[in-house]
Amino acid sequence: MSEVIHTDHHAADYSVDQHAGGQHGPEKGLARWLFTTNHKDIGTMYLWFSFLMFLIGGVMALIVRSELFQPGLQFLKPEFFNQMTTNHGLIMVFGAIMPAFVGLANWLVPMQVGAPDMALPRMNNLSFWILPFAFGIMIWTLFSDGGGPNFGWTFYAPLSTTYAPDSVTYFIFAVHMMGASSIMGSINIIATILNMRAPGMTLMKMPMFIWTWLITAYLLLAVMPVLAGAVTMMLFDIHFDTSFFNAAGGGDPVMFQHIFWFFGHPEVYIMILPAFGIVSHIIPAFARKQLFGYDSMVYAVASIAFLSFIVWAHHMFTVGMPLAGQLFFMYSTMLIAVPTGVKVFNWISTMWKGSMTFETPMLFAIAFVVLFTMGGFSGLMLAITPADYQYHDTYFVVAHFHYVLVPGALFSIIAGVYFWFPKWTGKMYSESLGKIHFWLSFIGVNVTFFPQHFSGLAGMPRRVPDYALQFADFNMVSSIGAFIFGFSQLFFLFVILHGIKSGKPAVARPWEGARGLEWTLPSPAPYHSFTHPPVVTDAEVHG
Amino acid sequence: MANPAEDSSIYYVPHNGWYPVVLAGAVMLTLTGLGSYLNATSAGGSGSLTQAMIGFGLVAVVLYFWYAKVITENRQGMANEALKRSYVWGMGWFIFSEVMFFAAFFGALFYARVLSVAWLGGEGAKGITGEYLWPDFESVWPVMSTPNPGVFPGPEQNMSAPASVAGWTGYLPFYNTVILLTSSLTVHVAHGAIKESKRAKLNLWLGLTVLLGIAFLCLQVLEYVEAYNHMGLTLGTGIYGSTFFLLTGFHGFHVTLGTFILLVQFLRARKGHFTAEDCFGFEAASWYWHFVDVVWVGLFVFVYIV
């Protein structure tokens, strides 16, 4: 049994179904979600899954912030505190941010390139369904003897080998599964973008979200296997007596850090490039102008992706590298500010003299530009090798990467959800509720993370359950902010459910400034996006 | 009614199926079973592989049905040119990801050889490491005596290539190199046979390729037996044994996969599945085989010779 899609332009009938005439709809019940090959169903599952992981990882963050509300040990044993910071990081990176972007890609890539579905729909379903199993394993280890992963999300050897709890074996296999999921997802996205674009959509007419995801997919393909290699070597060090990360046998624990960060730094850009794409759609839509400097935006993303492969050791300036290595990685890191600056100035130039309105997606997008830039600046400070000796492993680092990941990556995802919500559901969310959500999040995120710059510069180390008295005030403020931010995301859930249930019907193009093929489809979009390749008009290019 | 078998402009979107979700569950079953086995045996107990075996069996069953379905659909004419291009892109970038997987292990080899062993031996920018930790350790490759022989006793012998050309006559890796390079050639001839629509020739050369793959694996087993039983070279003999076995072992695992894939193509060829215009199953297998071959050349140069 199969359904088929016309991709020829001349075909007259819109029928795509062999079972019965007319538009083929989804199956009923659980089977729809378990067995689906539809990019929208799979995208929806990715998005809900990532939101669930976001809440679980968020609860872990709040447990951490509760313990840190005051100096001294209040609620947790230090061992459990370590498990919470570790799993918070792992779940947010691999379970919340990355799957959310893949979910957005699933929804948007076929619609934006004018394709009926993803190129390899069965594999698409496999990519998703691996994730609940992988995270099931990881979360389950928290309840096993000896506890879950407790070595930090970067799982440095020998903490993750010689001194690791038994659960590390399951953690390693869970990482293998996530890697397989990401690789298959990337192959699917690459094949869809390169193979299934509507006639006339040349590479330099592709929407920015497509460009950023195409490049992100290549980053994933290049580094997820390296991560798999790293955890494989861990597995062998733990169970088969090898000595990759053990100097007693001629290996080197620092080698683990090199291999990990060869994966880890491109991974950072994997979590931000699609965000750049989303913001590059939203700002032009609400500034009612074309994106400023489209070509330079594309080249900037490509440059950032290239540079991401030659900066990894700036994460490990203090472990003992030859001076030449430190200098190289310092300068190459600073170089990234150039293409990133191009992007920030282009977004600002897009807004310049635009007819701006400030709907919820735009608010999140502007907050993204401002706060991500701050995260970028603190990154530049960290890139300066001698200064990094002071900042390394302090809360300044925590503040830095949370500024690029929370008001950076996460805000862009939330902005994207509000922006495309009418297209997905056919309903409008409540603008006033959305704005409340924005302001709560904006205030919460800054109250949480801004004080961490100060406690970090004053020397508070990260990953500690207890701290010296002089850091008490900043930590108390930070914990209050974390709870504001955490509960405002439950409010986000309410805004979304409220919109789905009782939102006003949405028109095909709810934002009159929005450009792109997805807005030529009705709202909600039909189950199969484009049964015939659409005509790519100039009006819909570079939205 | 639209039918992709009659209209080649149609991009075939398969109907819902049970394979992906069952496969994901089976993979979890396999890996958690393997994990509990490893943890039990490393703790000194005796683990059970039953769960992992059941899981792996399920993986195999799902993959069988999945691939059979895709092959059937393709033979019914469901797949148009665009879908076939998707397969080509997919296989190509899958192989790229495999290259990066091996890159991690080669990276570990180069890092150990160029940096960490030298530093532990008191040489180079971080030579002070060695002075403090193990001042007696000398930096040579292959590492025959590890920095701390009490923990990692060094190997008695290593696998490096003999200095004299005459010595190569009894050198297994040399024969394995010849075998794999030849097999790349034979699979290429088999591809030519498809393009010429000569089925007997295809069967002959493809069958020969499979046999060469099996021969390679037999020799590698022999090499490992030799290493463990007579050369004192094991996974636990320090960084040389670690890199040697991980690199050659994962390569051998890929040869096993590649041989199996080629065997499946051989069975398909005997059923007459391939035509000069439509033989991507075979081509994907042969790309994979060439990739495995190229990795071996890298291994032979950097693990055995240099």
Measured between alpha carbons, how far is residue A432 from residues A282, A360, A435, A437, B156 in Å? Answer: 19, 9, 5, 9, 75
Could you tell me which residues come within 8 angstroms of residue B224 by beta carbon, excluding any fewer than 6 positions away?
B245
Burial (Cβ within 10 Å: 0-12, 13-18, ≥19) of residue A302 = middle
Query: Is the CB of B10 less than 8 angstroms away from the CB of A173?
Result: no
Query: Which residue among B35, B237, B239 sits closest to A173, beta carbon to beta carbon?
Result: B35
Q: Given pLDDT bands bounded at 50, 70 and 90, which one contains residue B47?
A: confident
**B234: which 2 tokens?**
């094991």
pLDDT tens-digit readout, B191-250: 999 999 999 999 999 999 999 999 999 999 999 999 999 999 999 999 999 999 999 999
Asked about A181 being catalytic, the answer comes back as: yes
Distance, CA of A40 to CA of A526 (rounded, Å): 9
Distance, CA of A255 to CA of A247 (rounded, Å): 10
Q: For strand A427-428 and strand A504-505, is the pairing parallel, antiparallel, or unpaired?
A: antiparallel
Note the pLDDT of residue B223: 96
Query: Is the CB of B16 less than 8 angstroms away from the CB of A37?
Result: yes
Please report the domains of chain B, with CATH numbers, ordered by start residue.
1-79 (1.10.287.70), 81-305 (1.20.120.80)
Q: Given pLDDT bands bounded at 50, 70 and 90, which one contains residue A242?
A: very high
pLDDT tens-digit readout, B106-164: 999 999 999 999 999 999 888 898 999 999 999 999 999 999 999 999 999 999 988 88
Asked about A242 being catalytic, the answer comes back as: no
Q: Given pLDDT bands bounded at 50, 70 and 90, which one contains residue A537?
A: confident
Q: Which residue among A41, A67, A237, A267 is the active-site one?
A: A267
Chain B residue numbers touching A226 (CB-CB < 8 A): 100-101, 103-104, 107
Chain A residue numbers touching B128 (CB-CB < 8 A): none
pLDDT above 90: percentage of residues in chain A: 90
Note the pLDDT of residue B4: 60
HSE (side-chain half, CA atoms, 13 Å) at A133: 26
ipTM over 0.90? The verdict is: yes
- A254 interfaces chain B, CB cutoff of 8 Å: yes
Q: Using CB atoms and an 8 Å cut-off, which of residues 25-84 of chain A contact chain B? A: 27, 31-32, 34-37
Chain B residue numbers touching A170 (CB-CB < 8 A): 31-32, 35
Query: Is the CB of B146 less than 8 angstroms away from the CB of A243?
Result: yes
Could you tell me which residues come within 8 angstroms of residue B244 by beta carbon, excluding any fewer than 6 positions away?
B158, B159, B233, B303
User: Do residues B58 and B29 touch, judged by C-beta distance below 8 A?
Assistant: yes
Could you tell me which residues come within 8 angstroms of residue B249 by beta carbon, excluding any fewer than 6 positions away?
none
Q: At residue A10, does pLDDT exceed 60?
A: no
Angle (deg, nearest 10), helices A208-239 and B19-42: 30
- 3 state SS of B13: strand
Residue with tokens 């080509």, as numbered in its chain: B88
Q: What are phi and psi of B17, to 5 degrees?
A: -150, 160
Report the chain A residue with the minimal C-alpha distance to residue B118. A250
Q: Which parts of A142-252 fold into alpha helices (H)?
A: 168-195, 208-239
Query: Which residue among B9, B116, B237 sits closest to A252, beta carbon to beta carbon?
Result: B116
**Distance from the A404 Cα atom to the nearest Cα atom in chain B, whole angstroms:** 27
pLDDT tens-digit readout, A316-331: 999 988 999 999 999 9
Asked about A40 being catalytic, the answer comes back as: no
- A310 interfaces chain B, CB cutoff of 8 Å: no
pLDDT tens-digit readout, A17-36: 333 334 456 778 888 999 99
Query: Is the CB of A129 less than 8 angstroms away from the CB of B24?
Result: yes
User: Do residues A220 and A186 touch, judged by C-beta distance below 8 A?
Assistant: yes
- Residues in a beta bridge with A427: A505
pLDDT above 70: percentage of residues in chain B: 97
- B118 interfaces chain A, CB cutoff of 8 Å: no
Q: Given pLDDT bands bounded at 50, 70 and 90, which one contains residue B23?
A: very high
Determine if the peptide bond prior to B142 is cis (ω within 30°). yes
Measured between alpha carbons, how far is residue A309 from residues A219, A253, A404, B146 in Å? Answer: 9, 21, 19, 32
Note the pLDDT of residue A5: 45
Determine if the peptide bond prior to A505 is cis (ω within 30°). no
Write down the mean pLDDT value for chain A.
93
**A272: which 2 tokens?**
């931000």
Predicted TM-score (pTM) of this structure: 0.94
Write down the mean pLDDT value for chain B.
93
Which whole number is the average pLDDT over A422-426? 97
Distance, CA of B126 to CA of A252 (rounded, Å): 12
Query: Which residue among A31, A125, A229 sits closest to B20, beta carbon to beta carbon?
Result: A125
- 3 state SS of A2: strand
Distance, CA of A242 to CA of B139 (rounded, Å): 19
Query: Is the CB of B246 less than 8 angstroms away from the CB of A242?
Result: yes
Could you tell me which residues come within 8 angstroms of residue B70 by beta carbon, excluding any fewer than 6 positions away?
none
User: Do residues A310 and A332 touch, judged by C-beta distance below 8 A?
Assistant: yes
Cβ–Cβ contacts within 10 Å for residue B230, how many?
Answer: 10
pLDDT above 90: percentage of residues in chain B: 82
Q: Using CB atoms and an 8 Å cut-off, which of residues 129-168 of chain B contact chain A? A: 129, 133, 143, 146-148, 151-152
Asked about A402 being catalytic, the answer comes back as: no
- A322 interfaces chain B, CB cutoff of 8 Å: yes
Distance, CA of A219 to CA of A355 (rounded, Å): 36
- B73 interfaces chain A, CB cutoff of 8 Å: yes
Q: Nearest Cα to B215, choosing from B251, B180, B168? A: B180
Q: At residue A12, does pLDDT exceed 50?
A: no
Q: Using CB atoms and an 8 Å cut-off, which of residues 145-184 of chain A contact chain B? A: 166, 169-170, 172-173, 176-177, 180, 183
- B18 interfaces chain A, CB cutoff of 8 Å: yes
Burial (Cβ within 10 Å: 0-12, 13-18, ≥19) of residue A202 = exposed
Q: Which residue has the higher pLDDT, B182 or A543?
A: B182
- 3 state SS of A3: strand
Asked about A117 being catalytic, the answer comes back as: yes
Could you tell me which residues come within 8 angstroms of residue A208 by beta carbon, excluding any fewer than 6 positions away?
A276, A277, A280, A281, A291, A294, A297, A298, A542
Residue with tokens 């659960």, as numbered in its chain: A167
Note the pLDDT of residue A210: 97
**B100: which 2 tokens?**
């990066």
Note the pLDDT of residue B163: 82
Q: A with B: how many residue pairs have Cβ under 8 Å apart?
A: 279
**Distance from the A59 Cα atom to the nearest Cα atom in chain B, whole angstroms:** 26
